[in-house]
Structure 1
């Protein structure tokens, strides 16, 4: 779950944040329960800071036919059929959230009939792109009632896409006119884009984007002070109806584990561009799983 939320603090100051609560299920060893790796991050858009925390263990998971509830050492996520919740607090209590979201349109099936493919790799993938969100965020102990929107997606697969050093860039783009784009660009280890997958959703109706009408330009560079990896600083995406520019709201949105040096990037971005001959604006979340790095180093343990 990723989203943008706003509120007013007790002193009357308007506050804006982006948040993410992401859970990876790590394939279980035979005879043992699966392990869950949960990540909680807050982008404080007033302070211009990004902070994250991760927790890993065999999570407490319950499910029925249409509902799930997951608790990974206090990082909680669950829900059913477009209605979801997220609860998480940093150990130092700098930030915490208690949010509920309700979809305002049906699910989008990403890829071909809801399955992304890259070579022999296949991943069923759906998303609820627009979810009305309400709840409370605690900013350094101060409770703030917030409202906003959340993007919820669920993807599951076995193995990894491409080769051991392949990577990808993903964007969940929410335009201000209620159009969304789910865009995936898969890279070889040398950074060459090898596969593109895109879906446009307009007012709840989704349409795949032809691969030959979707391309990515990487603009500038930013070197992480944590891992030394060099990422693009921003992007231009060319679409059938025009192009959009995606610029991080906070450049340093890398999630990394200092001990193991495993890492990836995911953070909020501003979107501007021209589509269908008119100027457009929006927001996005951008994710980069670094290319040219062995798979064992990339996803946090």
Structure 2
């Protein structure tokens, strides 16, 4: 499939008014930072192979958060003036070697006061020290290395950006203007290197990118979320986000998006999806119990999928930046799509199982 052009002059196909927030998306402008929003992140996950077929996975996320109103981050305001800034930047990075059962995770926390971290508003450039995301033409370059582990990757979208919440059967939101502005590149051709214990490995595969900018992370009664990004071998992708409330129920504002092979999309409302947990796993480090296998049914789309973690131990343990642990890992998908067998790869993120996340990031 040819790569989608993403830097053409904006036209009617590239400017979309979000039906909830009223925000007018325009590319390439919205690839860049939106400093007038409370929170923003650029989030990459990928499934890769080397020449021998050995599998690897990675996650790299860059966050920009306004210090005003974020309780867990206000501690960083009491610092010398040369370090002070309106925003704090943190980043998470993981790399997994599935054949050898190795999983590494790292984080960074900085401000832009001395140029150690930042996000440009006029170009695609986001960094936290030497972890960097840049864009040139249609290509994204993603580099992160810590100790002897990391990656140096080039990513090219195979489809145009998908703006979530603009398809048929629109999602509900209690305060529409508080809904997140959220788009993705759901399938990106990926080449480059991963580094495992200092050894470079040439890899190819596919990645997924999320870019979100919003007024808040979670509402007061929300505790966390389950997020699925699944890339199927028939060219389709499925994104599901399931917001968990403090009482254990799922928020009806949860939803998702089906992206067909031709790039068209359909909203997946929470009441028209079924996600069952098949088993659980308890972390020996945090003692937190996470779901560890799922059965997903989308009856109106005639899609049924089984999602299985490629390795149980893919937990980012006790991160300072979020005062919590979370699980994010590579998964394998199998099932049926409109009656035909389908397989795939992807990532799942499980946030808030070790504690109420809105207590950390409440406003």
Q: Tell me the TM-score normalised to structure 2 length.
A: 0.74
Structure 1 position 137 matched with structure 2 position 189: no
User: 1:163 Cα deviation (Å)?
Assistant: 2.9
Q: Which residue of 2 aligns with 1:20?
A: 59
- After superposition, the C-alpha distances for 1:121-150 in whole angstroms (9 at most, x for unaligned) are 410000011111111222222222211111
- SS of the equivalent of 1:111 reads coil
Contact in 1 for aligned 2:222/2:244 (Cα 8 Å):
no
Aligned pairs for 1:73-88 (under 5 A) are 73-79=129-135, 82-88=138-144
Alignment correspondent of 1:101 = 155
Please give the alpha-carbon distance, in whole angstroms, between the structure 1 residues aligned to 2:102 and 2:206.
20
Structure 1: distance between partners of 2:358 and 2:333: 32
SS class of match (1:193):
coil
Written as runs of structure 1 = structure 2, the 5 A alignment for 1:62-73 is 62-63=119-120, 65=122, 67-73=123-129
Q: Partner residue of 1:256?
A: 317
Which ranges of structure 1 fall in alignment gaps of 5 or more residues?
Answer: none
Question: 2: distance between equivalents of 1:75 and 1:292?
Answer: 27
- The alignment's C-alpha RMSD in Å is 2.5
More helix by share: 2
Quick one: distance in 2 between partners of 1:228 and 1:51?
A: 18
Q: 1:231 to 1:224 in 2, by over 3 A?
A: same
Q: Which has the higher contact order (CA 8 A, sep 6+)?
A: 2
Contact 2:290/2:353, CA 8 A, preserved across alignment: no
Aligned partner of 1:38 among 84, 88, 91: 91
Deviations 1:87-109 (A, max 9, x none): 01122x1x221111111110111
Counterpart check, 1:205 vs 2:264? yes
Unaligned runs of 5+ in 2: 1-43, 69-76, 78-83
Distance 1:81 1:228 in 2: 45
Alpha-carbon distance in 1 for matches of 2:185, 2:136: 11
Matched with 2:14 is none
Q: Which residue of 2 is the match for residue 111 of structure 1?
A: 165
Q: 1:38-87 CA deviation, whole Å, 9 max, x = no partner?
A: 1110111111222101111015335354x321221221112267531110
Once the two structures are overlaid, the 10-residue window that deviates more, 71-80 or 194-203, is 71-80
Structure 1 counterpart of 2:230 = 173
Is the contact between residue 218 and residue 358 of structure 2 (CA under 8 Å) also seen in structure 1? no
Output the CA distance in 2 between the equivalents of 1:205 and 1:82. Answer: 20
Q: How many angstroms does 1:175 deviate by?
A: 0.3
More strand by share: 1
Aligned length: 292
Q: Which residue of 2 aligns with 1:294?
A: 356
Output one character per residue of 1:189-243: Cα deviation in whole Å (capped at 9) or x when no partner.
2321222311111121112124432121122221111222111121111112131
Q: Does 1:230 align with 2:256?
A: no
Aligned to 2:210, which of 128, 146, 153?
153
> In 1, are the aligned partners of 2:45 and 2:207 still within 8 Å (CA)?
yes
CA distance in 1 between partners of 2:220 and 2:282 (Å)? 24
State the match for 1:184 in structure 2. Answer: 241
Q: Which residue of 2 aligns with 1:55?
A: 108
**What is the rounded CA distance, in whole Å, between the counterparts of 2:151 and 2:212 in structure 1?**
24
Judged with a 3 Å threshold, the aligned counterparts in structure 2 of structure 1 residues 85 and 266 are, in CA distance, closer, same or farther, namely: same
> SS in structure 2 opposite 1:257?
strand
